[in-house]
Amino acid sequence: MNFLSVFALFLLPTVAFAAPPTVAVDVGHGGKDTGAISARGRSEFEFNLDFSRVLAASLRQHELGVREVNFDGNIGSLAARPQAAVGSDFFIAVHHDSIGEAWLLNWTWNGQPQTYTEVKRGYGIFVSAQNPDLETSLRCASTIGAMMRRAGFEPSPWHARKHLAADAENGVWYYDNLVVLYRTTLPAVLFEAGVIKHRDEELELLDPERQARMADAVATGIAACLYVRAAEPLTEK
């Protein structure tokens, strides 16, 4: 989906809704499984929670409802996450990316040994072909990606090594066996905000202004996609 296609979404007639669409925002990992460790030793869960809070606020500013999933870090199973989102209209799992050990280098930060990479950075958006509403998942993923690029963020090409492209231009890839994407009744995406093993990008991901700009891009994409979906006429099957 290119920028013109995204902008066309906003030109559709205004539609009145009984209630705004609701987005389930799932904070990846948690207290027991904290996820990847950044180049400076911070857990992925901390990054995920920080960005999810900013994203939730931005979604509300875009007049969308928000269902907070795993904001306390206590959800134990992957299957429980989509269950907690039942009743929502869209599901987004928030994560931050790492890289395989073969691509890690050693360094010391604050007196502690850490690892980092120099070869991978950028965001990624994932969908599952097993999702029950793949069409909407793909459309929302591409719209999010297009708005991310418009805001100046760059997708990581690294995912082409392992994943089939759904919309490589906008950073969208298939990842079919992700439980949170296929064990749900909702259109769903997994959003990797960036690579916390990359030392420069780690610092960028911690910047509040950049977080707000990224959250606005993601929320704008979701809002455009969901309101267009709600505006579509029902057809007999």
pLDDT greater than 60 at residue 136: yes
pTM: 0.90
Segment 209-228 shows an average pLDDT of 96
Asked whether the predicted pLDDT for residue 5 surpasses 60, the reply is no
Q: Is the dihedral of CA 172, 174, 176, 178 positive or negative?
A: negative
- Model confidence at 13, pLDDT cuts 50, 70, 90, reads very low
**Spatial separation of the C-alpha atoms in residues 230 and 235, rounded to whole Å:** 13
pLDDT score recorded for residue 10: 47
Percent of the chain with pLDDT over 70: 89
Find the mean pLDDT for residues 135-143.
98
pLDDT of residue 98: 98
Q: Are 49 and 27 in contact (CB under 8 A)?
A: yes
pLDDT score, position 19: 81
What is the secondary structure of 79-131 as a DSSP string? THHHHHTTT-SEEEEEEEE---GGG-EEEEETTEEEEEBSS--SBEEEE-TTS
Task: Of 18-32, 44-58, 121-135, give the lowest mean pLDDT range.
Answer: 18-32
pLDDT digits (tens, 9 = 90+) for 106-132: 999 999 999 999 999 999 999 999 999
- Could you tell me what percentage of the chain is helix, strand and coil, using 3-state DSSP and rounding each to the nearest 5? 40, 20, 40
Task: Indicate whether 236 pLDDT > 50.
Answer: no
| Residue range 36-57: mean pLDDT, rounded | 98
User: Using one digit for the tens of pLDDT, what is the confidence trace for 145-195?
Assistant: 999 999 999 999 999 999 999 999 999 999 999 999 999 999 999 999 999
